[in-house]
């Protein structure tokens, strides 16, 4: 869950306002009375339809990575559609860069998947700050491979523990999370039925060598400076574009925005072209360019929901689900 103080502007106020959200609880504002110890709901984000939080269950588990580190994983599923027997489809999300932590908060769009029997998982891999600053430092620059290993090992662990079917695992990430997707499909393509890679940063070496791109030099602290051979060689070892090979790849949906200034549209485009040339399977590889969007995707609530719908429809079609 996520919880924090908010909206207390008067020093002599006897109440504290708290925001709380979890994978099963929509964003809620509480007033907590410091004198009586009682709390009162002031506002909760409405959820359309017949949503009942009691129908869903969330968990936090730890999965051991190959080097012995315990990786936190947040899970949510619908109680009456989940059996811990390895039959449910699994949607695994990850990011793992810049110290950004993906909070396990509520999202109404994902109810569409949960109500179809999916287990939704957030892998809090190294490169985030889920377990503090050292967790971030252990997933950047010359330790970046830990980010990819963690995600792959979480997938294996979730399947082994019965949270998902081994032939129904879907993985999603965007931007630096798209780099994550590009790395895992080069290193462990057999684990995934489908991939969603959105505005993916996949040509690491070329981009980081081009100082004319606005954000490149600011990124040295995250990835290293490839003008230094040590960093160049390490980036080259995992850069998705440079490691595409003649092998089978999962079904893939790749999206970009024409006006993206952070990961320019031609970067995922050339990656998709190389994948289509090199891959040895007949799996689907869809590439969609939004001619109006930037790095953050389509503007407006309803257009964003359409983006979610496209991704969900892609995965559901692979399962022959409606």
What pLDDT sits at residue 299? Answer: 67
Instruction: Give mean pLDDT in consecutive 10-residue pieces for the chain, a chain of 322 residues.
Output: 85 90 97 94 94 98 98 99 98 98 96 98 98 98 99 99 98 97 99 98 96 89 97 98 99 90 84 98 95 70 87 97 82
What is the set of active-site residues? 175, 260, 295
What pLDDT sits at residue 302? Answer: 79
DSSP string, 219-282: GHHHH--TTSHHHHHHHHHH-TGGG--SS---EEEEEEETT-SSS-THHHHHHHHHHHHH--S-
What pLDDT sits at residue 272? Answer: 98
What pLDDT sits at residue 257? Answer: 87
Please give the Cα distance from 9 to 82 (Å, whole number): 44
């Amino acid at each position: 869950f996520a919880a924090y103080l908010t909206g207390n502007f008067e020093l002599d106020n006897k109440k504290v306002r708290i925001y709380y959200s979890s994978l099963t609880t929509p964003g809620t504002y509480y007033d907590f009375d410091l004198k009586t110890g009682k709390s009162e709901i002031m506002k909760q984000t409405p959820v359309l339809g017949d949503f009942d939080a009691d129908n869903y269950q969330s968990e936090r588990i730890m999965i051991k990575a190959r080097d012995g580190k315990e990786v936190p994983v947040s899970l949510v599923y619908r109680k009456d559609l989940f059996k811990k027997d390895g039959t449910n489809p699994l949607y695994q999300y990850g990011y793992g860069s810049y110290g950004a932590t993906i909070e396990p908060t509520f999202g109404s769009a994902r109810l569409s998947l949960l109500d179809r029997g999916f287990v939704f998982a957030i892998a809090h891999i190294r490169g985030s700050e889920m377990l503090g600053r050292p967790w971030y430092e252990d997933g950047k620059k010359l330790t970046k491979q830990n980010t990819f290993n963690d995600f792959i090992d979480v997938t294996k662990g979730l399947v082994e523990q019965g949270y998902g079917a081994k032939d129904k695992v879907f993985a999603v990430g965007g931007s630096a999370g798209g780099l994550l997707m590009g790395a895992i499909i080069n290193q462990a393509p057999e684990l995934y039925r489908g991939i969603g890679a959105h505005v993916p940063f996949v040509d690491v070496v070329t981009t980081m060598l081009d100082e004319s791109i606005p954000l490149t030099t600011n990124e040295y602290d995250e990835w290293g400076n490839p003008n230094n051979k040590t960093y160049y060689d390490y980036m080259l070892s995992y850069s998705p574009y440079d490691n595409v090979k003649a092998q089978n790849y999962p079904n893939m949906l790749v999206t970009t925005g024409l006006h993206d200034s952070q990961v320019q549209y031609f970067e995922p485009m050339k990656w998709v072209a190389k994948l289509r040339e090199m891959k040895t399977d007949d799996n689907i590889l869809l590439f969609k360019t939004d001619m109006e969007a930037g790095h953050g995707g389509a503007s407006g609530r309803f257009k964003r929901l359409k983006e979610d719908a496209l991704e969900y429809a892609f995965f559901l079609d692979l399962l022959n689900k409606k």
